[in-house]
Structure 1
Amino acid sequence: MIIRHANESRVAPGKASNFTGDAVGDSVLPATDGVIINTVTFAPGARTHWHHHEHGQILRVDAGYGLICTHGRSPEPIRTGDWIWIPPGERHWHGAAPDSFLTHTAISLGSTVWSDEVTPAEYEATPSEKKDTTDDH
C-alpha cells in the first residue's frame, strides 16, 4: 500500500523535452505496477508533445478548457468534468486552449513513448465541433 498525503510536496515543472509552453506536474502516484498518475496544469497554449502509451491512458479534466488530438485528426475540445480514454498505442497530444488554463489528472498505463513537438499548425487547426446528441432520441 502507498499513501500519498495531500500536503506532501511533489510538484515539478513539466519536462521541457515533452512539453511546449509552461506546464507543472504533480506526481500523484509514481510508477507503481505500470500505472503512473499525474495531475498537470497547463498555462494557456501549453501542450504535450506527440506521444502514446503502451496500455492506454485515462484523462480527467479537473479545471479549465483544452484540446486533445489523435494523429491524423483535428483537435477536439475538452472541458471541466470530461473523462477521456486513449487506447493503447494511439499517438496523441493534449493541453490547454490558447485562452485558458487546463488542469487534468492523467492515469498512464504502461510505458509512455514520447515523440516530436506539436507544430503550431497542428495546434492551431480548427477544433472539431462535438455534435450535440441530446436531440437524437
Structure 2
Amino acid sequence: MAENENIKNGVIFNLGAKNDALAQYFVGQSYLNTLVSDPEVNVTVGNVTFEPGCRNNWHIHRAGYQILLVTGGTGWYQEEGKPAQYLVPGDVVVTHDSVKHWHGATQDSWFSHIAITAGTPEWLEPVSDEQYQSLKK
C-alpha cells in the first residue's frame, strides 16, 4: 500500500520517534514528532502517527482543547455518547474543554494527524477491543 509507505516516510512532517513517553495510554504503536513546544505559548503542536490498529485511551483535555488536522491515512475519532467518526486526510476535528474522547487508526491503515493541544490531559481507560473492532467505515 503506497499510502501507508508515504505516511511511514513522513510526507509532510517526519514520523518522529516512538511515543514511548505516552505508550501506557495507547493500544498499539504510535510516533510523535513535536513541532511546537514553547513554554511561552500555551499550546503544543505535534505530528502524531498511529500504526494500523493503534488508538489512544479515552481522555479529556482539562482547561483546554484539542484540534486535529488529519494529514494521512484513515482513522477514527469518537466523543463519549456519540458515534465514531471515520477520518480521512483534510478532516478537521475540534474537541472542546472537558469532552471525553479518543482517536486512532483504522485496523488496516496507518493514520497521521497534527494535534494542536492546550490544557492538561486526563488519561482514562482504554477503548476496548470489542468496541474498536465493531467500528465500520
Normalised TM-score (structure 1): 0.80
Identity of aligned residues (%): 31
Aligned letter for 1:117? P
User: Which of 59, 66, 69 lines up with 2:68 in the alignment?
Assistant: 59
Q: Provide Cα deviations, 1:42-66, integer angstroms capped at 9, x if missing partner.
A: 0101011111112111000001100
Residue 12 of structure 1: how far off its partner (Å) = 2.6
User: Which of 121, 125, 129 lines up with 1:116 in the alignment?
Assistant: 125
Which structure: greater helix fraction? 2
Q: Which has the larger radius of gyration?
A: 1
Give SS of 1:109's match. strand
Aligned letter for 2:46? N
Across the aligned residues of Structure 1 and Structure 2, the Cα RMSD in angstroms comes to 1.9
Distance of 2:27 and 2:15 partners within structure 1: 21
Q: Provide Cα deviations, 1:54-108, integer angstroms capped at 9, x if missing partner.
A: 2111000001100011112221101001111111111000000001110100001
Distance of 1:78 and 1:10 partners within structure 2: 19
1:67–1:97 Cα contact (<8 Å) kept? yes
1:10–1:27 Cα contact (<8 Å) kept? no
- Name the CA shift for 1:30/1:70 in 2 (closer, same or farther; >3 Å): same
Structure 2: runs of 5+ lacking an equivalent: 1-13
In structure 2, what is the equivalent of residue 27 of structure 1?
A: 34
Aligned letter for 1:99? D
Query: Which stretches of structure 1, 4 residues or longer, exceed 4 Å deviation after superposition?
Result: none
